[in-house]
Chains A and B, each alone.
Chain A
């Protein structure tokens, strides 16, 4: 294990953890329910750690990414249904991320939102075309570390640490009306979905193949999953906690993604605002790249095409055409004028419906001794995996009713 590579890998995972959905739901959760939803972030982070570690292990041991083996395991028909559902979910998520980056650029420059969306898409396409995989992952992930501004801002406003620690205990606040309870339930489901987005495991496992992971990288995979995502989750919790302290008491509803940046502006002024917006810009742009590539990986792997950004774009031509087409499609959705917040809500809602289809085959594959030999899931991973799968199933069943009963969390 190369310590420099490991450190860079962890920092990349930290910087790349937060995306537009986590940003929005962390800020809204804090202003609406104070510190009471912190435990959902912590709980979901353990879930994504468990499944990311599994997908990285499958990549390192079986030398195949998840979607390649998913079709083999599920069969052609169910595999195709999973592919179709993943494409829709990831495309909506990608559109939400592109819209989010455009909105942040709009805040930073004052230039029109639609023009920024076109510019962002062009820059993202050029960056994927020009840069090899490792640089793409590192550039966006490391620049996303500007998000640490939110953690520093939280410390600077001297929050009630005992209440934040109390938020880590699973709870439902006392004295909520039925309507508020339903809204609390909707936020719980939305946060689980936002933290455990399906694109994350597709991207992570395909990235493992891109970087030619082998059995000697299993420890790196485990440490990167646990520390990278664990520390990344602290950034999301910082946004929630600052929102609980600053926005909640003043009844501010952080409806726009940019409102979260004010959390850094309050203690640090203009420079805090700029650093927070830069962090949001790179973190959300990185998520746009990941969602788009995850979708292209899934399609290419399902049909057995050559794929990967460790190859030159012309060495995997159908894969290249696919990711460019997916970016253009995401831009097309943004240019219809649909609101970014609506896209975020649809992304979260559709993803939770897809999650069981994503995680079940992964759970089966990583426990299959034929593929994984002595590296198949142990008792702890197996128990955690099935436990989280049951949670995801319940969340998926509850998602649509909660969405309609609460008008998308708006009560």
Chain B
């Protein structure tokens, strides 16, 4: 499915995993940014990725817990970066170039890089 065609937001896009051009998991489509105005066609502008984007979809009381576990980062992925939408959203380039994978990079500093076969 192309991001330019008609999309059912909830059943075909929200909460799907994102995979970059290197096959790395880069997050989940946590929310979307739309462009348009009353009476005009709505267009998908960007995907919002990261636990900070849950705020609009989640009971407020649960947010502190989510923030504690997963943080509150939000990354905006422009629609032009999407290659295909299927069982996952495939991105056109490496996630790091889109500002994704920053939390992984931070966590990586804590892990010793030896001992694994």
Contacts and interface: CB of A to CB of B under 8 A. Distances in A.
Contact of B88 (A64, A314, A318): A64
Majority-rule SS of A interface residues: helix
Contacts of B94: none
Interface in A170-221: none
Interface stretch (A72-80, A91-99, A261-269, A393-401): A72-80
A401 B115 CA distance: 49
A115 interface: no
Contacts of B110: 317, 321
Contact of A130 (B14, B24, B59, B116): B116
Interface in A295-316: 300-307, 312-314, 316
Given A129-B116, A303-B70, A320 B14 contact: no
A68 interface: yes
Given A303-B28, A304-B17, A320 B111 contact: yes
B87 A71 contact: no
Given A132-B117, A313-B116, A304 B18 contact: yes
Nearest to A372: B87
Contacts of B30: 76
Contacts of A64: 17, 87-88
B103 interface: yes
B116 A68 contact: no
Interface string B20-36: 00001111101000000
B115 A129 contact: yes
Given A62-B87, A130-B115, A317 B28 contact: no
A314 B103 contact: no
Nearest to A67: B17
Contacts of A313: 111, 115-116
Interface of A: 62-64, 68-69, 71-72, 75-77, 79-80, 129-132, 135, 300-307, 312-314, 316-318, 320-321, 371
Nearest to B114: A314
B25 A304 contact: yes
Contacts of A68: 17, 88
A314 B111 contact: yes
B107 A318 contact: yes
Contacts of A301: 17
Interface of B: 10, 14-18, 24-28, 30, 49, 51, 54, 57-59, 62, 70, 87-88, 101, 103-104, 107-108, 110-113, 115-117
Contacts of A79: 15
Contact of A71 (B28, B101, B104, B116): B28
A130 B115 CA distance: 6
Contacts of A303: 27-28, 51, 70
B102 to A, nearest CB: 12
A405 B24 CA distance: 50
A75 B16 CA distance: 10
Contacts of A71: 15, 28
Given A130-B117, A371-B87, A314 B108 contact: yes
30 contacts: A64-B17, A64-B87, A64-B88, A71-B15, A72-B14, A72-B15, A72-B16, A75-B10, A76-B54, A76-B57, A77-B59, A80-B58, A129-B115, A300-B25, A301-B17, A303-B27, A303-B28, A304-B17, A304-B25, A304-B49, A306-B24, A306-B25, A306-B104, A307-B25, A312-B113, A314-B111, A314-B113, A320-B111, A321-B107, A371-B87
A69 B87 contact: yes
A69 B30 CA distance: 13
A132 B116 CA distance: 8
Contacts of B25: 300, 304-307
A28 to B, nearest CB: 38
Nearest to A74: B15
Given A68-B88, A304-B18, 12 more contacts: A69-B87, A129-B115, A132-B117, A301-B17, A303-B28, A303-B70, A305-B103, A306-B24, A306-B25, A313-B115, A313-B116, A316-B104
Contacts of B24: 306
B86 to A, nearest CB: 8
What 6 A-B pairs come out closest when comparing CB atoms? A304-B28, A317-B107, A304-B27, A62-B87, A72-B15, A314-B111
Given A64-B87, A304-B17, A304-B25, A317 B104 contact: yes
Contacts of B112: 314
A157 B114 CA distance: 50
B26 to A, nearest CB: 7
Contact of A317 (B59, B88, B108): B108
A328 B109 CA distance: 20
A194 to B, nearest CB: 30
Contacts of A302: 28
Nearest to A324: B111
A77 B58 contact: yes
